[in-house]
Chains A and B, each alone.
Chain A
Amino acid sequence: MKNRQNRVVTFLKIILKIVVVFILVITINRIFLPKYINENQDGRITQEYYPKAKETDVIFVGSSTVHSGIDPRVLMEEQGISAYLRANASQTMWISYYMIEDALLWHTPELVCIDTTFIKYGDDFVEEPSTRKSLDGMRLTPSKIRCIRASMGENEKMADYIMPLFRFHSRWKELTLDDFRYAYYNKPVTINGYLPDDEVGAAEPGPLVYEKEGDTELSSRNVEYLRKSIELCLDRGIQVMVFKVPAHSPNWSRDYDDQINDIVKEYNLSYINFDDKNDEIGLDYSTDTPDGGSHLNASGAVKFSRYLGEYIRDNYTVSDRR
């Protein structure tokens, strides 16, 4: 009997030791992970979703054009739509897919809106800082593992994403009080994923959509993940909207629109490039952009969100939370 008791005590001691090491490792990881509080705030978008997951009816995925161009406050105030933007800088179509997959682990929304701005980039697009900002805040689930595998560059390692300390331990020289303060306390810095930009940087006059020269065929991987995103939502009975945030960018081509249209039609969906609704939205690229038309600023976001809210209300069935 005593022998058995001793064994139980030994076992509990081992477990306790493992727990202590685990807490230590987690804490060190949290201290060293960039906090994205005072700069690069888009790094907070992914993690700030989780506390709000249950109250989110519409999820937007896409790149920086989404997190700077859609104001969820306008959607809520004017249409009662509760939305969250899971959109980070340079977020590829495959990361967007895993953003949806990860979101569905916590809550099933009524509508998923997929922005296609980044679909034009090649299969081999890798930008480590952006990938990190998208993934560092994601909870550790099989989705995250798959997302890391799909996103990381040639010289990156899975372990560096799972244990951010391996990637960021060199920050010991630049740690500030904020790194300790926000290790466990998550101060929200985004507005449901929205990061308003008040700057104004007028765009050069010119057409909104160009006839881009050269190869404009969408890469197979981008197409594959657009399809996977749509299928994932439809399989779960979630409505899907495929769209492109308005921008004044010479990098977009009508050919892209045509190819996306062909894909979504196969699923009986429609695709909308909001550049085509510019007059109705009322965007003025001399005042509504911070960077010559690549993104919308706060005033542009309000205009676009107002129009977008009405569009969603008219075309999809989404709860009114007002």
Chain B
Amino acid sequence: MSFISIDFALFVTAALVVYYIFPGKIRWVALLIASYVFYTWTGFGNLAYILITTVSAYVCAGLMEKKAAEQQKYLSENKEKLTKEEKKSYKAEVKKKQKLILAAGLILNFGILVYLKYADWAIAYINLFRLSRFGRTDFIPFRNYIIPLGISFYTFQTMGYLIDIYYGKYERERNFFKFALFTSFFPQIVQGPISRFGELAPELYKEVSFDFDRIKSGFYRVMWGLFKKLVIADRLAAYVSETIAQRETYKGFYILLAVFFYSMQIYGDFSGGIDVALGVAEMFGIKLAENFNRPFFSKSISEYWSRWHITLGTWFKDYIFYPLSLNKGIIKLGKKCREVGSTLAGKKNPLAGPMTGLGKRIPIYIPMFMVWFTTGMWHGSQNRYVVWGLFNCFFIILGTELEPVSLRIVEKLKLNEAGALMRSYRVIKTFWLMSFLRIFDISKDVPSAFNAFKLIFTDWSSFRLAVVYENLSLEKEDFIVAVIAILVMFIFDLVQRKGSVRERIFRLPVPVQWVILSLLIVAVSVFGYYGPGYDAGSFIYGAF
């Protein structure tokens, strides 16, 4: 069931009615039923995967807690008998067992995810290796698995919970059905956000009372999400894909326009989908984590990634970056480099400085490399995504390393770093850099992406708007609507800097509120790309 369907609208309406009919204390049960109905609707076969994740995480969390309880009991019973060393050794033994349980849970669940998503990718490489090394043409057939809806999202969310339980961050959820709701809450299962147990659980299980204003507010957000998805993203999709596919014919400014439009498309698509998810959750009185914070106003790539797909970024930071930064091996390597640096300094070797610097940076850059490699892989089982991830990593490191140089230049030119001019420059630079990196997203492979990038700088004089209208699936009227809609989105984001736009709207006189809502409904229902005649695309991130 797609977010953009009458089925979904009817489903949410029915779920809301049932939810508010249920007594307050057990409203979460209605949500669980709704979530499983929703998930079953996407395909009965998908149910097995989410059930495996739910049951395995529940069991592993239970076993880890049991070990902790046993430890507590044993230590309190033998408080006097055991020496400090024996207690330490016992604790280490228990921790080891807990680690094994955690590893089993992670391997099982990430194993399923990796197998489903990357089996064909691996098969392609195995076939290539067999062909080049042994000349074998009896290729292993591709599996062509259908990826269960939202598997990356619920796997990451549930495994995050398991890791947190291991570290004793939360107490595990003892009620299996409540836990099942945490893994399957339907608005966020399609494309996130990836919530943390500590934030989501209290929201899911709390007693919610009916509030029309909250439903109205959620509805506004859903409509705004649909505006971004249907009026902007889906309108631009055909132009982007056709231009990139025919880049040898439509080069120069056509590709630059496609790059710009793709940034708008992916933002409209993904943040629009998140708005729908958050808006629907809000109608149920549940606040989900924000996933976007006006990313196109970022002044650096690091800042951009702290504002785009925020929950995935923090997931990687918390569960990959920090554990790796604190990894004994990596710390040791950094230390070793610093020691070599000081030895070289003693010998007045010019490499002493860089070596010491490297020593300081290793605990940051190695985990960062791993985070970006994994981020690339998470986005898809193609090399272009990995290259895209590593380019992001490269530019972040470059930005960090060149920052002193950049600051010196600003100082020499007597520019005001905090002034509007410099801020605008940094925002525009970051936007275009990120947009250019997205070429890997829209190209079919890495060479095509480089080729598309190269072709941007050729033959600008051939650009004609008439060609866009006639040959590239963006008629004049659609082009005008797209430009206006992008401007509306830009203004919305600009206003949002000073606080929630919806709250501002709700402070306006009621008739004005209704005019705004009516315009939004008309814009979505009339100018949206959906229904016969338009092939409304599914959400791009829904496939991850």
Contact = CB atoms under 8 A, between A and B. Distances in A.
Interface of A: 10, 14, 17, 20-21, 24-25, 28, 32, 155-157, 159-160, 165-167, 169-170, 172-173
A28 B531 contact: no
B518 A24 contact: yes
A14 B212 contact: yes
Given A28-B526, A165-B525, A170 B534 contact: yes
A257 to B, nearest CB: 38
Given A14-B212, A32-B526, A170 B521 contact: no
Given A17-B514, A159-B6, A172-B526, A166 B531 contact: yes
A32 B531 CA distance: 14
18 contacts: A14-B212, A17-B514, A20-B518, A21-B518, A24-B521, A24-B522, A32-B526, A155-B532, A160-B532, A166-B530, A167-B532, A167-B533, A169-B530, A169-B531, A170-B534, A172-B477, A173-B475, A173-B477
B302 to A, nearest CB: 42
Given A28-B525, A169-B531, 11 more contacts: A14-B212, A20-B514, A24-B518, A156-B532, A159-B6, A166-B530, A167-B532, A169-B526, A170-B531, A170-B534, A172-B527
B528 interface: yes
A160 B536 CA distance: 14
Contacts of A170: 531, 533-534
B526 A160 contact: no
A172 B235 CA distance: 14
Nearest to B518: A24
Contacts of A25: 521
B516 to A, nearest CB: 13
Nearest to A155: B532
Nearest to A156: B532
A173 B481 CA distance: 11
Interface in B498-539: 514, 518, 521-522, 525-528, 530-534
B232 to A, nearest CB: 16
4 closest Cβ contacts across the A-B interface?
A159-B6, A170-B533, A166-B531, A173-B477
A204 B530 CA distance: 47
Nearest to B517: A21
Nearest to A159: B6
Contacts of A24: 518, 521-522
A135 to B, nearest CB: 15
A105 to B, nearest CB: 25
A165 to B, nearest CB: 6
Contacts of A20: 514, 518
A156 B533 CA distance: 11
Nearest to B530: A166
B238 to A, nearest CB: 14
Nearest to A157: B6
Nearest to B514: A20
Given A157-B6, A160-B531, A169 B525 contact: yes
Contacts of B475: 173
A24 B526 CA distance: 12
B366 to A, nearest CB: 52
Nearest to B481: A172
Contacts of B514: 17, 20
Nearest to A175: B526
Contacts of A173: 475, 477
B234 to A, nearest CB: 12
Contacts of B531: 160, 166-167, 169-170
A284 B208 CA distance: 77
A167 B531 CA distance: 6
Nearest to B212: A14
A28 B527 CA distance: 12
A166 B4 CA distance: 12
A213 B486 CA distance: 61
Contacts of A10: 212
Contacts of B527: 169, 172
Interface in B234-251: none
A20 B518 CA distance: 9
Nearest to B532: A167
B331 to A, nearest CB: 60
A18 to B, nearest CB: 11
Contacts of A157: 6
Contacts of B530: 166, 169
A107 B6 CA distance: 34
Contacts of B532: 155-156, 160, 167
Nearest to B521: A24
A28 B518 CA distance: 11
Contacts of B526: 28, 32, 165, 169, 172
A159 B8 CA distance: 12
Contacts of A156: 532
A313 to B, nearest CB: 46
Nearest to A172: B526
Contacts of A28: 522, 525-526
Nearest to A165: B525
A234 B530 CA distance: 44
B11 to A, nearest CB: 13
A294 B207 CA distance: 69
B518 A169 contact: no
Interface in B361-390: none
B286 to A, nearest CB: 22
Contacts of A21: 518, 521
Interface string B204-232: 00000000100000000000000000000
Nearest to B528: A169
Contacts of B525: 28, 165-166, 169
Nearest to B531: A166
B199 to A, nearest CB: 32
Interface string B236-270: 00000000000000000000000000000000000
Nearest to A11: B212
Contacts of A14: 212
B12 to A, nearest CB: 15
A152 to B, nearest CB: 11
A172 B532 CA distance: 14
A155 B533 CA distance: 12
A234 to B, nearest CB: 38
B348 to A, nearest CB: 75
Interface string B467-495: 00000000101000000000000000000
Contacts of B533: 167, 170
Contacts of A160: 531-532
A166 B534 CA distance: 10
A157 B530 CA distance: 12
A14 B212 CA distance: 9
Contacts of A155: 532
A219 to B, nearest CB: 27
Contacts of B6: 157, 159, 166
A186 B527 CA distance: 26
B515 to A, nearest CB: 11
A183 to B, nearest CB: 14
A167 B525 CA distance: 10
B92 to A, nearest CB: 62
A205 B528 CA distance: 53
A123 B431 CA distance: 57
A247 to B, nearest CB: 32
A14 B477 CA distance: 37
A129 B521 CA distance: 27
A93 B212 CA distance: 47
A312 B274 CA distance: 65
B216 to A, nearest CB: 9
